[in-house]
Amino acid sequence: MAEQPVIPPLGEVLAGVRVVALPMVTRFRGITVREAAVFEGPQGWTEFSPFVEYDDAEASAWLAAAYDYGWGEPAPALRPAIPVNATVPSVAAADVAAVLARFPGARTAKVKVADPGQSLADDVARVAAVREVLGPEGRIRVDANALWNVDEAEHAIRALERFDLEYVEQPVATVDELAEVRRRVSRLGILIAADESVRKASDPLAVARAGAADVLIIKAQPLGGVRAALRIVAEAGLPCVVSSALDTSIGLAMGASLAAALPSLEFDCGLGTAALFESDVTDAPLLPHAGEIGIDRVVPSEALLEASAASAERREWWLARIARCHEVLTARA
């Protein structure tokens, strides 16, 4: 039986909310400024940062995660640090080296592909530049964010095969399409990973049951928190990569606590994304060092919270969103 969700009093939450707007080093996922709400619970600081286009039903899982991390009992840590990958946005090939330099010691790079307005040739050039920087022993994974159809995915994977891909993340949108792509490229020895088909699905285990992926990408906030994600991993029975949802360092610490609690961690995790921000909420951001990040909770800096504070209008928007999502969680409970 699943544990009862932790739902603190709404007034207690709203009284301590700080809303920040953090500029990105380069455009990522279509945004240049990342907004987030952070607040403190009995266990420490926590984060609520669903993307602004998500409706309340989807965003409520992110609030459940924030409550779980701030008010719930922490999961036992099985490792002291988490190996992380570099993340390469859809930049020009000439800019790849500068991006990778922000992830010192990373032996793995996740490369965004299939960006609207770019061509497969752009993707090939970007991945080739990553391979040149990492050398033959580096690991490369690509992420299409479900933007290819099945034929496009097969064509692109074959074009990128020569760069010795570790896996291809969410090449297509549906579970059935994932299964078909996996079947078509099985002879290439390239693994298929599922992200959106896990975190945005009404049934996050459907991918595993259908045999549609070799690897699951799990994210603490979208899956409802560390303990909820651990239950999904246990039931899925597939290797997992813990990744960020473009969180502040507070949210990254939540992801690190999930990665630290996994019984097995075969792949480098996508938790080094503090390197994509121009500034953060803490004087000690979770930036990669020697290819790893720590698992300690993050305490924000008052000065940085003030410096990165969102406008009064955006603050009210986030407070209203929290109140609505809190109501969704209460109704479900």
Q: What is the pLDDT of residue 3?
A: 67
Average pLDDT along the chain: 96
Q: What is the pLDDT of residue 26?
A: 87
Pairing of strands 240-242, 215-218: parallel
Identify the helix (H) or strand (E) that includes residue 147: none
Q: Which of 112, 126, 141, 297 is catalytic?
A: 112
Strands of 42-186 (E only): list them.
Answer: 44-48, 81-83, 86-88, 108-112, 139-143, 165-169
Instruction: With cut-offs at 50, 70 and 90, classify the pLDDT of residue 201.
Output: confident
Q: Which of 18, 34, 131, 219 is catalytic?
A: 219
**Distance between CA atoms of 285 and 274, rounded to whole angstroms?**
7
Active site residue 110: no
Contacts of 53 (CB under 8 A, 6+ apart): none
**What tokens were used for 50?**
């669903």
Identify the helix (H) or strand (E) that includes residue 3: none
Q: What is the pLDDT of residue 2?
A: 54
pLDDT tens track for 281-324: 999 999 999 999 999 999 999 999 999 999 999 999 999 999 99
Consult the annotation and say whether 123 binds a ligand: no
For the cut 80, the answer to whether the pLDDT of residue 1 exceeds it is no
Where does residue 167 rank: exposed (0-12), middle (13-18), buried (19+ CB within 10 A)?
A: buried
- State what percent of residues in the chain have pLDDT above 70: 99
Write the class of the CATH domain 81-294.
alpha beta
Where do you find CATH 3.30.390.10 in the chain?
Answer: 10-74+302-332
Query: 10-74+302-332 adopts what CATH topology?
Result: Enolase-like; domain 1 (3.30.390)
Active site residue 219: yes
Consult the annotation and say whether 247 binds a ligand: no
pLDDT tens track for 61-119: 999 999 999 999 999 999 999 999 999 999 999 999 999 999 999 999 999 999 999 99
**Distance between CA atoms of 185 and 254, rounded to whole angstroms?**
34
pLDDT tens track for 179-196: 999 999 999 999 999 999
- State what percent of residues in the chain have pLDDT above 90: 95
Where do you find CATH 3.20.20.120 in the chain?
Answer: 81-294
Q: What is the pLDDT of residue 116?
A: 93
Consult the annotation and say whether 195 binds a ligand: yes
Regarding predicted confidence, which is higher, 27 or 220? 220
pLDDT tens track for 141-171: 999 999 999 999 999 999 999 999 999 999 9
- Closest by alpha carbon to 46, among 246, 245, 247, 228? 247
User: What pTM was computed for the model?
Assistant: 0.96
